[in-house]
Amino acid sequence: MNTLKTATLLAAMTALFMGLGYLIGGAGGAFIAFLIAGAMNIFAFWQSDKMVLRMHGARLVDENSAPHYVRLVRQLAANAGIPMPATYIMEQPQPNAFATGRDPEHAAVAVTTGLLNVLSSEELAGVIAHELGHIKNRDTLTMTITATIAGAISMLANFAFFFGGSRERGGLIGTIALAILAPMAAGIVQMAISRTREYEADAMGAEISGRPLWLASALEKIESASGRVTNEAAEANPATAHMFIINPLHGGKRDSLFSTHPATANRIAKLHDIAAGTGRAAGRPWG
């Protein structure tokens, strides 16, 4: 099912890319945009994870440089029944995290220094379990590719806005309309997918850690702290916002069409429901 979703998403975003190409250069522009989109799809499949990690200044760590974090990832990956992902840390005071990679065999988990400083061992385990849930559900390919292509569509839309197309293709009004609507449509696609998958990853993370309230407590802390700290790398690359466990951009906190994530209060409520259903409201410390 995820393969079909990924293919549909790529087709939709390629069509948007071609529409902008047509606006800028007619049939020739659409054809060039098609070739570029094809090349980008191939690149995104193989390299988008590395590009996103570079965007956020993530550095690879091991058990020598970050022993507690790496051991938690290893233990939880074993719980999830997936290969140990690569482990990264971002030098960023805003507490946050994301997972990336084209499949569980080529996956990575990245957390910020702010996250490591703010959360307890149990809460950190809850966050890592959530990210491993994305990996196990094979969400990471779609999420990472979406970030890459949505960013490219926004760039091409800006090009269309400044250089425009001919009168036969709608003139200045058409140029402005498509320059605004194309990235908006791409954003709606990625946001809708992200919101659904965050709930699914929360549930999977609760299963992996065995303690839903660890993640609930972590989400509450991250939500509170992230609103006070600007994530400059995320603000510079907003197309990657949907990858994070909590929206790293300021202002998107409600369940609305333009929110990259479900409302955190709704996620916490669902985790409490899971805990009540399983009787796992507390547990032994990790560390």
- Determine the Cα angle at 204 with ends 202 and 107, to 5°: 95
Strand partners, 55: none
97: left (phi over 0), alpha (psi -120 to 50) or beta: beta
Distances (CA, A) of 183 to 124, 157, 238: 34, 7, 12
Tokens matching residue 127: 């966050």
With contact defined as beta carbons under 8 Å apart, do 208 and 76 qualify?
A: yes
Tokens matching residue 80: 């999830």
Residue 105 catalytic? no
Catalytic residue among 122, 123, 131, 223: 131
Tokens matching residue 163: 């250089």
Give me the DSSP letters along 16-46: HHHHHHHHHHHHHHHHHHHHHHHHHHHHHHH
| Alpha-carbon gap, residue 241 to 225, rounded angstroms | 16
So which residues are the catalytic ones? 131
